[in-house]
């Protein structure tokens, strides 16, 4: 085996510990030489160390900025809610963990790109909040006199503060979403721009056409990036926003489907369901529920 094959072979064994054939082959290989044992130990150590690192990395600079607000003498900070004040100060400083800010002139466009491997959120000057998936990028004017955000790539969920005087625009590729105050999700991939309304309503404009979307049934629309063709299928797609809202709602859905969505949301292997219960219809709501609790609730509802 050359070096590449060896790493692949070890990889195969590490990810499939239950496979007896592979483990037997591994043992045989380990017995061949001290060098093999050493290599295996190193790779295994790396593999395991990578498994229990936190999903978000620690930003030392940002941490220090926050800390220096707290320890700055004389401390004008009220001691009652120190953490909230620190959080607010951090937003003012426009420091965000790991992500990248780009800014040109005084009222130039500010571009924010999330790090490659985690969800992040930013607060806008008007109080609205945007949740962004890993590797997403958006831009807006520093002053934010006009409430306009351009989604450049990826997926973002917008929780917009109502303001009847100023509508809020999200421009994604050739489509524009207009709202007054509501919550919705916008995603761009190579072929489509997709909008899902979680709360309230928005109007979607693309290629001279306009479509009003309400939350609930029919809350999703896609626009083909090539020819601006709009599609507006039946169904409530709110659960697709769960990555940002932490809310999953199922009404009269098949247990098998519910299990699949819950598993995907918590990034766990598919929950097994007894054969006779797979098509049972269940209704269930999970809001900010920790994984273990969610599984308990699901099995309780399933057993009713």
Question: What is the contact surface with another protein in residues (CB under 8 A)?
Answer: 3-4, 7-8, 10-12, 15-16, 42-43, 45-47, 49-58, 60, 63-64, 66-67, 70-71, 73, 82-83, 86, 116-117, 267-269
Cβ atoms within 10 Å, residue 243: 15
In the complex with another protein, the residue whose CB is nearer, 180 or 295, is 295
Distance (Å, rounded) from C-alpha 160 to C-alpha 131?
A: 11
In the complex with another protein, the residue whose CB is nearer, 66 or 199, is 66
Minimum distance from residue 47 beta carbon to another protein (Å): 7
Residues in a beta bridge with 159: 129, 183
In the complex with another protein, the residue whose CB is nearer, 16 or 126, is 16
> Angle 158-297-257 (CA atoms, 0-180°, nearest 5)?
65
In the complex with another protein, the residue whose CB is nearer, 4 or 276, is 4
Report residue 250: phi and psi, to 5°. Answer: -125, 125
Minimum distance from residue 96 beta carbon to another protein (Å): 14
In the complex with another protein, the residue whose CB is nearer, 8 or 229, is 8
Query: CB under 8 Å, gap of 24 or more: what pairs does 282-287 form?
Result: 282/250, 282/252, 282/253, 282/254, 282/255, 282/258, 283/250, 283/251, 283/252, 283/253, 284/248, 284/249, 284/250, 284/258, 285/247, 285/248, 285/249, 285/250, 286/247, 286/248, 286/249, 286/262, 287/246, 287/247
Minimum distance from residue 208 beta carbon to another protein (Å): 34
User: Residue 284, SS3?
Assistant: strand
Q: Are the beta carbons of 178 and 197 closer than 8 angstroms?
A: no
Helices in 203-290 by DSSP H: which ranges?
Answer: 242-245, 255-265
Minimum distance from residue 3 beta carbon to another protein (Å): 7
Minimum distance from residue 41 beta carbon to another protein (Å): 11
In the complex with another protein, the residue whose CB is nearer, 268 or 274, is 268
Minimum distance from residue 15 beta carbon to another protein (Å): 5
Minimum distance from residue 56 beta carbon to another protein (Å): 5
Report residue 207: phi and psi, to 5°. Answer: 55, 40
In the complex with another protein, the residue whose CB is nearer, 109 or 118, is 118
């Amino acid at each position: 085996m050359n070096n590449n094959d060896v790493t692949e072979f070890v990889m195969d064994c590490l990810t499939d510990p239950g496979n007896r054939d592979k483990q037997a082959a591994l043992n045989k290989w380990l017995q061949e030489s001290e060098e093999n044992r050493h290599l295996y130990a190193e790779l295994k150590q790396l593999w395991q160390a990578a498994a229990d690192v936190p999903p978000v990395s620690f930003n030392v600079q940002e941490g220090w900025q926050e800390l220096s607000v707290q320890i700055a003498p004389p401390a004008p900070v009220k001691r009652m809610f120190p953490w909230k004040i620190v959080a607010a100060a951090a937003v003012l400083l426009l420091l965000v963990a790991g992500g990248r800010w780009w800014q040109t002139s005084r009222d130039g466009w500010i571009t924010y790109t999330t790090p490659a491997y985690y969800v992040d959120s930013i607060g806008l000057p008007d109080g609205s909040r945007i949740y962004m998936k890993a590797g997403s990028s958006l831009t807006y004017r520093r002053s934010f006199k006009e409430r306009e955000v351009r989604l450049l790539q990826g997926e973002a969920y917008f929780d917009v503060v109502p303001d009847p005087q100023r509508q809020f625009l999200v421009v994604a590729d050739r489509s524009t979403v207009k709202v007054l105050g509501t919550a919705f999700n916008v995603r761009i991939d190579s072929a489509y721009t997709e909008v899902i309304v979680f709360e309230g309503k928005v109007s979607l404009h693309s290629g001279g056409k306009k479509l009003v979307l309400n939350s609930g049934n029919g809350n999703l629309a896609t626009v083909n990036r090539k020819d601006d063709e709009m599609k507006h299928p039946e169904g409530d797609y709110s659960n697709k926003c769960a990555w940002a809202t932490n809310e999953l709602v199922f009404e009269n859905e098949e247990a098998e489907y519910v299990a699949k969505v819950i598993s995907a949301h918590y990034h766990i292997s598919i929950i097994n369901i007894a054969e006779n219960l797979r098509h049972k219809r269940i209704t269930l709501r999970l809001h900010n529920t920790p994984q273990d609790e969610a599984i308990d609730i699901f099995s309780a509802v399933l057993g009713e």
